[in-house]
Amino acid sequence: MRSGRYVGVMSGTSLDGIDVVLAAIDENMVAQQGRYSHPLPLDVKRDVLAMCQGQQTTLAQVGELDRRLGSLYAEAICRLLKQCGLMPRDIAAIGCHGQTVWHQPEGAQPFTLQLGDNNRVAALTGITTVGDFRRRDMAYGGQGAPLVPAFHHALLAHPTERRMVLNIGGIANLSLLLPGVPVRGFDTGPGNMLLDAWVWRNKGEPYDKDAGWAKQGNVSQPLLQQMLAESYFARPAPKSTGRELFNLGWLEQQLRRLPGLRAEDVQATLAELTAVSIADQVLLAGGCERLLVCGGGARNPLIMARLSALLPGTEVCVTDNYGVSGDDMEALAFAWLAYRTISGLPGNLPSVTGASRETILGAIYPANPDDREKVTMGETE
Ligand SMILES: Nc1ncnc2c1ncn2[C@@H]1O[C@H](COP(=O)(O)OP(=O)(O)OP(=O)(O)O)[C@@H](O)[C@H]1O
Ligand SMILES: CC(=O)N[C@H]1[C@@H]2OC[C@@H](O2)[C@@H](O)[C@@H]1O[C@H](C)C(=O)O
């Protein structure tokens, strides 16, 4: 086993920034030692959004974005190292998720694509980098997502209590940690993504802070029921989704069938959609005693209150109260997955993704030994 300090890097579907964490990891523990959030430049956010919503893209644009993201990840990592007073040689490896620009787990040719050139990350940081975590699982017939349920299980499972872990990011995903049965987990549907898109469209704000705007509106039951009729919600697991399905275009299509709604009522209904689509899945799986919530949506008081109301008998709380920072959960998971890969251990859970077997995940980009001794500062772009 390759115990040591690992760095995890996550830039998720919300496109709110690059999260970087430092953690000491061994067989028994993941101890967070640092964190840093790096802004995602607006033009990069725009380019990612264009790509993952199916706008026409040239190969040159894909290549340039891949390179640009690689540089940004390296810069973010170097800032964290500087903040923590560490050298490249102090870090065993980086786990770098990359930016998902397309995720198509079903159909004749399933694939998933994360950008962010890991060659640049390894070269600019001087640290061995693990990336491309999802495609080996897909090569064995899995969804390639979600991958965090294995980490949730390792950190938060309880021998007798029925627990579930919920990440409310751009997309929301749920891990079922039920005693005595294999872990299951899947994407429930939109988390913050549609809420963010609607407030951006109407108010030019990146998100609806503390649900201030949604709280001014009323839930439209016709819109809610119409949205819940989307076939993804009723599909059995394994399943995963993304911006390819749940995007502003999808919402506009829904609204065309119900014209005249007030913008704030739409926002209130989107918050309700997130809460109801999650609660339905919790109940369908037989409910739980404790729902541990992480991701940016754990800061949305309206969604949290609605989850509590829709799940009587379930204690809805944040993972921070159980020793894992909800903001850093995903980046920590990729540090842990890098540790697994470097140690030659499998990272996926077939019971979650539907893959035909457990497998080592990712590709390793080894650092040059002499680079490990240098103080690198990435490259400011
Ligand atoms: N105070 C707040 N009030 C309401 N919403 C909030 C608040 N703070 C964060 N959020 C929501 O959380 C989002 C960011 O969540 P997070 O960082 O978990 O996303 P992500 O990592 O990109 O997602 P994913 O899990 O899909 O990869 C913001 O875009 C916003 O919608
Ligand atoms: C393809 C992809 O990037 N999926 C993300 C996304 O963001 C949340 C949800 O959709 C989840 O399936 C996944 O991320 C987490 C980290 C996962 O793999 O568990």
| HEC profile of 243-273 | CCCCCHHHHHHHHHCCCCCCHHHHHHHHHHH
pLDDT tens-place string over residues 66-90: 999 999 999 999 999 999 999 999 9
Burial state string for 333-343 with b = 16 or more CB within 10 A and e = fewer than 16: bbbbbbbbbbb
With the most atoms of ligand 2 within 8 angstroms of its CB, the residue from 135, 136, 138, 148 to mutate is 148
Residue 59 has pLDDT above 50, yes or no: yes
Candidate from 73-87, 288-302, 362-376 with smallest mean pLDDT: 362-376
In the three-class reduction of DSSP (H, G, I as helix; E, B as strand; rest coil), residue 16 is classed as: coil
Residue 286 has pLDDT above 70, yes or no: yes
pLDDT for residue 380: 47
Domains of the chain from N-terminus onward? 4-132+362-371 (3.30.420.40), 159-322 (3.30.420.40)
- What is the pLDDT confidence band of residue 381, given thresholds at 50, 70 and 90? very low
Which ligand is located closest to the Cα atom of residue 145?
Answer: 2
pLDDT tens-place string over residues 115-152: 999 999 999 999 999 999 999 999 999 999 999 999 99
Nearest CA to ligand 1 atom 10: 296
Residue 379 has pLDDT above 60, yes or no: no
Q: What mean pLDDT do residues 302-311 have?
A: 98
Alpha carbons 302 and 240: distance in angstroms, whole number:
25
Residues with CB under 6 A from ligand 2: 12-13, 100, 103, 112, 145-148, 169-171, 173, 187, 240, 242, 330
Share of the chain above pLDDT 70, in %: 98
Determine the longest span between alpha carbons in the chain, in angstroms. Answer: 64
- Give 173 Cα–ligand 1 centroid separation in angstroms: 13
Residues 279, 234, 141: CA angle, nearest 5 degrees = 110
Q: CA dist 42 to 9, 31, 164, Å?
A: 19, 33, 35
Tally of CB atoms within 10 A around 43: 9
Residue 377 has pLDDT above 70, yes or no: no
pTM for this prediction:
0.97
